[in-house]
Chain A
């Protein structure tokens, strides 16, 4: 093992393949990262419980599919039905969880004008409660689910294969990302969100209901996490009560990498992190990928202390 600690051939021999793998992995990070970034952009708060919002989404997908009696590789009509049902159910469950978390805990703390650390610890507590509740309810072992979409190679460029699931993941993530970007930048509600992020007091003076905006961003984050949960289920076919912890950590890292509070930064950070991890795992072995992820984070922050694209919903453009 010692002689071959770093295996350049493995990396550069299939660089394209690893990049595609990394992008599809990173897309899910990006979608979850958006939840962190939205909340942080407006409230300057790390919503540690967001990882569990995602986890609940995955369990909802499993539950919905099992209720609908899904089996491995069903007919195409059923696939679409299952995907839609899974998406709706997961988004609803995740969105509801996110909003509930805000209502039950954060709003109270905001009323108290509590310092950020208090929010963080509360979020950690909530995260523990949610994941443990699912651990007790659903068991602590990995939970399988039917393979709804059979993997197939869509097209091949050189020695790089792009599969249908990878394509779905990346495209869905991009669509949602740009949908969100449009929503935030082009609609009236989106303007309200940006206003609260940029200057909460003035936003209130313009008639923006801050509570509603905050509930909205939690909802948006939850919906995206639900969508991410569906993609995750499609791609990995498994979930587990603590699936959110590691993924949430990565997604948060991605958000910081891109510049937390910045929507496009979350996308960039997520994709970049996915690629870095796959490269690092190929170069050495899979158990070093986290080290690589964090080293890249530190290096980026050293040179750009507020992440690649800088902070904040719209503030960076000023």
Chain B
């Protein structure tokens, strides 16, 4: 297992946000977390990337216990997140933002080729490479966030709401790119509102509800599960 989350509990102040969740992600998989707003999906992501302290439980990455590891060291281990709300550095240009993704890397030539790869995936970004991140449209920012995370050449890519605020066409594109990235060998943990898309792309998925995992299974199984359809796919 690349990532093993075991019985994780996490609090905001005195409010418990996660109540003992366990998630595993195997190498090469796309695993989706779905659930309503506030169910704890983003919190889980932040715990994995090291932005939130864990109350109890453990997180293991590639066999190593990283529960209390600093966030930046996790990046060096190979975990990179495209955060919810994109987290673009508004005052930096597109190029600088992408360079930030490669912050921990020193292999200049490989970085250059990765940059080409990202620009290949997102031609829009190439057009706007000198533009400040804050002036991009929502969709462009989302591309930038995903591209930036790719620049870290992560073993595990965490994507938090990559389709948020995007037009259906773009959503379609983004998910195709996600699949492509995955096929190129990157393991992906995906948090998504758009359950339809997420489930159809994911190998496996977990359903979160108020800080607990209520269901898990393969993407296709959950996609056809009546309860999931009822609760998260909108139209019954």
Write the residues of chain A forming the contact surface with B, with a CB cutoff of 8 angstroms. 188, 191-192, 194-195, 198-199, 201-210, 312-318
Contact = CB atoms under 8 A, between A and B. Distances in A.
Contact of B104 (A191, A207, A316): A207
Interface in B7-53: 49-51
B50 A199 contact: no
A315 B132 CA distance: 10
A209 B99 contact: no
B59 to A, nearest CB: 15
B57 interface: no
Nearest to A209: B72
A207 B102 CA distance: 9
B223 to A, nearest CB: 30
B186 interface: no
B91 A205 contact: no
Contact of B51 (A188, A204, A313, A315): A204
Interface stretch (B75-83, B193-201, B204-212, B225-233): B75-83
Contact of A317 (B50, B73, B88, B91): B91
A313 B96 CA distance: 14
A215 to B, nearest CB: 13
Given A202-B83, A318-B133, A318-B135, A207 B90 contact: no
B188 interface: no
Given A202-B83, A206-B148, A207-B104, A315 B72 contact: no
A206 B135 CA distance: 21
23 contacts: A191-B92, A191-B103, A192-B103, A194-B89, A194-B91, A198-B89, A198-B90, A198-B92, A203-B100, A204-B72, A205-B71, A205-B81, A205-B83, A206-B72, A206-B80, A206-B101, A206-B104, A206-B148, A207-B76, A317-B91, A317-B132, A317-B134, A318-B135
A312 B72 contact: no
A318 B87 contact: no
Nearest to A313: B91
B208 to A, nearest CB: 21
B138 to A, nearest CB: 15
Interface in B152-205: 152
Contacts, number: 86
Given A318-B133, A318-B135, A207 B103 contact: yes
B124 interface: no
A315 B101 CA distance: 19
Given A191-B99, A199-B87, A205 B51 contact: yes
A207 B134 contact: no
B130 interface: no
Contacts of B80: 205-207
B100 A195 contact: yes
Contacts of A208: 72, 100, 103
A208 B152 CA distance: 12
Contact of A206 (B90, B103, B134): B103
B70 interface: yes
A207 B75 contact: yes
A202 B84 CA distance: 10
A183 to B, nearest CB: 14
B92 A206 contact: no
B91 A207 contact: no
Given A191-B92, A206-B100, A318-B91, 14 more contacts: A191-B96, A191-B103, A195-B89, A195-B100, A198-B91, A204-B70, A205-B75, A205-B81, A207-B76, A207-B80, A208-B72, A209-B70, A314-B91, A318-B133
